[in-house]
A and B are shown apart, each in its own frame.
Chain A
């Protein structure tokens, strides 16, 4: 089985500051990794994913995450945040080889961007 730990439940930052949201996972098998974002009163939307290949993956709105196998981490970063980035962010892991999308989620990190 897999599990995910998001070390920070809340991250407040000022607009245009850099941010890092931390995610560590544990798994006995190779994994796929995801970051989902949830805006208020909405469902979860996929932000970015690591399936294979380059360990650095990027989203269309400036976020990036790096898969670090030795540290079992998949931290999410953005060099300059906007107020519109305020949302809850969930890290998730899925074991390779499964024929079904069984995702294990972390508890989430609330990112609040202040003007």
Chain B
């Protein structure tokens, strides 16, 4: 098993659809993250979960809804998206606690296209 696995790798959806992105980590980490990567823009941190609790939400629209049922799994539920939401969504994990080096381990991403 690779460290961080994301499914699906590619997703095309209409603006009225509901879909979900899934992330699973096999590294024994206790923190998980969703990042959005759009062309020509820095990576945007969307959500942070530590020990299954959401500890950060960077002003993300409510059409994105994260879920972390346990420390190994992270979901991003998508509903009524806009074309500008088309991007690569990256999941990452880390070992939180002290000391913490800040190193993140990334999945390969889910390429989302909203029509």
Which A residues lie at the B interface, using CB under 8 A?
32, 34, 36, 41-46, 49, 51, 90, 94-95, 98-103, 105-108
Give B48 Cβ to nearest chain A Cβ, in Å: 7
The tally of CB-CB contacts under 8 A between chains A and B is 71
How many B residues touch the partner, as a band? 20 to 34
Q: How far is the CA of A47 from the CA of B28 in the complex (A)?
A: 21
Give B45 Cβ to nearest chain A Cβ, in Å: 8
Give A96 Cβ to nearest chain B Cβ, in Å: 8
The answer to whether B43 and A101 have CB atoms under 8 Å apart is no
Residues of A within 8 A of B40 (CB): 107
Q: How far is the CA of A105 from the CA of B4 in the complex (A)?
A: 20
A interface footprint on B38-78 (CB within 8 Å = 1, 0 otherwise): 00111101001010000110000000000000000000000
Give B66 Cβ to nearest chain A Cβ, in Å: 16
